[in-house]
Amino acid sequence: MEQHSSGPRTGTLNPWLTIWIRPRATIRAYLDSAQPERHLVPLSIVAGIISAIVEYSTNPRLQDMPPVALAIAAMISGAVGGIIGIYFFGWLIAKVGGWVGGQGRSREIRTAILRGNYMPAILAAIVSIPNLMIPGGSLFSLLFGGLTIVLGIWMLGISILSIAEAHQFSVWKSLLCGIIAGILLMIVLVLVVTVIILLFNL
């Protein structure tokens, strides 16, 4: 009987590297492994915290906030947001993808989000940390800004390819799935804000 390893089969390369250059193959290796959601919670927490720290640190409205308070807020909101995000978007993308012929269940989509979105986001956030220490307007800061744009586009492509692999459909359907999910989120947000305004007479 064939024995399945708990980790992905990506040859001798580290999946943290292969996700950048072979996203579909890396996601498939994870999906075919015995434990595709291995380390899901801790990685989701780390991704959420790092993203929150970078976001808070670059928000002009939070510049006067004490560093300790900023760190605590980032850790709490990032950890909660990371976990809620992967389960919510795993369910949403699985549901929307099914409307356009996708085969992925919530579990497969969570794996695709974890490996194809959270893992690259963690590395990208770590790379961007030195830029937070450089004064704005410097050449190094401008170069880092350009690198951030390139990484953002690259990560978007990785995310689209990862969802396509999990759903076993084309890249175009993956892109359509993301657009539909985004529109649904916007509609829900508008409805929630409208209800709040009406309830509290804002």
Give 38-82 pLDDT, tens digit per residue. Answer: 899 999 999 999 888 878 877 777 777 887 888 898 899 999 999
Q: Please tell me the predicted confidence (pLDDT) of residue 2.
A: 40
Share of the chain above pLDDT 90, in %: 52
Is residue 145 predicted with pLDDT exceeding 80?
Answer: no
- Among candidates 119, 105, 120, 123, which has minimal Cα distance to 163? 105
The domain in which residue 92 lies consists of 15-200
**Per the domain annotation, does 77 fall within a domain?**
yes
**Per the domain annotation, does 52 fall within a domain?**
yes
**Per the domain annotation, does 120 fall within a domain?**
yes
Tally of domains within the chain: 1
- Among candidates 83, 159, 154, 149, which has minimal Cα distance to 115? 159
Mean pLDDT of 177-193: 93
| C-alpha to C-alpha distance for 42 and 19, rounded to whole angstroms | 19
